[in-house]
Each structure stands twice: as structure tokens, then as C-alpha cells.
Amino acid sequence: MKDTNLNLVMTITMNMNNEMIQNIHIVQTGQ
């Protein structure tokens, strides 16, 4: 259930900070 909340927060943050999320996504892909 906590995962769902995290996903929701991530989606909102994505809308607010698309650029920042993009950088995080690149780091995740690197891993």
C-alpha cells in the first residue's frame, strides 16, 4: 500500500519537476 502512495507522490513530483525526474530516471537506467 505504501508503494501506491509513493507512486502517487512520484507522479505529482513528475508533473512539478519534470526535469529533475528526468535526471533521476537517467540515473535509475544507469543502475
Would you write out the chain's pLDDT as a tens digit for each of its 31 residues? 578 889 998 888 777 777 776 777 677 776 5
Count of the separate structural domains present in the chain: 1
Q: Which of 29, 5, 13 is nearest to 21 (CA)?
A: 13
5 vs 12, 22, 30, 31, CA distance in Å? 11, 20, 25, 23
Question: Which pTM does this prediction carry?
Answer: 0.38
Residue 26 domain boundaries: 1-30
pLDDT at 19: 73
Helix (H) or strand (E) segment spanning residue 17: none
pLDDT at 31: 55
pLDDT at 18: 73
